[in-house]
Chain A
Amino acid sequence: MAELDDIIHQPLRLKIMAALNALHPAQGLDFPRLKKLTGATDGNLGAHIETLAKAGYVSVEKAFVGKKPQTTVTATATGRGAFARHVATLREIIATAEGK
């Protein structure tokens, strides 16, 4: 059986990756929306996004919309692949337990 991805397995990072994977590959989520969806605090979310970015699972783009700074987080192809493998492993664990 394949191993679970340690980076994605952490609960908040799993939520971040699940949220980003639900979007079209070209789409990302801005920081406030991601914060609202995951229920995380600013500091916690920022730290976990950084971990995912270091692993190459997400890309972080900072830009100004008018005078406001906006941070957009998008899942990379590597991140999407890792997330798909993680989900497959979760399903495999359940299937094995059910004796399929």
Chain B
Amino acid sequence: MINSQEAGAALMEIESLSRLVRQSVFYRHASTMLILWGVATFIGYLLSFFAPAAAPVIWSVVIVAGVICATIIGALNKKREGVSTFDARATAAFTAFVAFGCLWSIVFGNMAPRQIGAFWTTYFMLPYVMTGFWFGRVFVVIGMSVIALTLLGYFFAGPWFTLWMAVVNGGGLLLGGLWMRRS
């Protein structure tokens, strides 16, 4: 039989490893979503740069396509691993989040396209930063970096702002997702 100190050390080891495993699983699923939204955002900004007048239509298509892809990925994960990663609650939370953003950026707000671009990016990075407080600092780093670079582009990128956002926002999410996949 072991003493209480050894028992305590064993329990701490179990707790530490459990936390590491949960984080690793979360990172694996989240990385797929980050890569998906990184690609979607990159395409959205790139097309908006070349056809600014069509930006509202482009972004509507990008968001709908992104949600459909995310749902398909969630369903595939469920089939492969037996656990749901994109359930009804996640869909409802995402819908509420987007609806709130639309309410203030489109209905009540009178924003210029440049402001809308900066608003949606910083708004989407907010949950990344908050998620990071619970699930890993990498989310805080990704969120804060993209917000900082967005503000930098907003004030200093001039006419290249949309292209800047394609690289910073789309590329940032993509690189973050790839990094998480490796960790």
Task: Give the interface of A toward B (CB within 8 A).
Answer: 1, 3-4, 9, 11, 14-15, 18-19, 21-24, 26-27, 29, 33, 37-38, 87, 90-91, 93-94, 96-98
The contact of B1 among A22, A93, A98, by CB within 8 Å, is: A93
Decide: A94 and B14 in contact? CB cutoff 8 A: no
Decide: A14 and B24 in contact? CB cutoff 8 A: no
Decide: A15 and B13 in contact? CB cutoff 8 A: yes
B54 part of interface (Cβ distance < 8 Å): no
**Given the complex, which residues of A lie within 8 Å of B22, measured CB to CB?**
22
Q: How far is the CA of A24 from the CA of B18 in the complex (A)?
A: 12
The contact of B21 among A3, A14, A37, by CB within 8 Å, is: A37
Decide: B11 and A14 in contact? CB cutoff 8 A: no
Q: How far is the CA of A9 from the CA of B11 in the complex (A)?
A: 11
Q: How far is the CA of A98 from the CA of B8 in the complex (A)?
A: 12
Q: How far is the CA of A47 from the CA of B22 in the complex (A)?
A: 25
**Given the complex, which residues of A lie within 8 Å of B110, measured CB to CB?**
none
Decide: A18 and B1 in contact? CB cutoff 8 A: no
How many B residues touch A, CB cutoff 8 Å? 21
Decide: A94 and B2 in contact? CB cutoff 8 A: no
Task: Give the interface of B toward A (CB within 8 A).
Answer: 1-4, 7-8, 10-11, 13-14, 17-22, 24-25, 81-83
**Given the complex, which residues of A lie within 8 Å of B81, measured CB to CB?**
24, 26-27
Decide: A18 and B4 in contact? CB cutoff 8 A: no
Decide: B24 and A37 in contact? CB cutoff 8 A: yes
Q: How far is the CA of A24 from the CA of B29 in the complex (A)?
A: 14
Q: How far is the CA of A38 from the CA of B13 in the complex (A)?
A: 11
Q: How far is the CA of A1 from the CA of B21 in the complex (A)?
A: 30
Decide: A91 and B11 in contact? CB cutoff 8 A: yes
Q: How far is the CA of A37 from the CA of B7 in the complex (A)?
A: 21
Sorted nearest first, the 4 A-B pairs with minimum C-beta distance are A26-B82, A97-B4, A22-B18, A22-B21
Decide: B17 and A37 in contact? CB cutoff 8 A: yes
Decide: B24 and A93 in contact? CB cutoff 8 A: no
Q: How far is the CA of A90 from the CA of B2 in the complex (A)?
A: 9
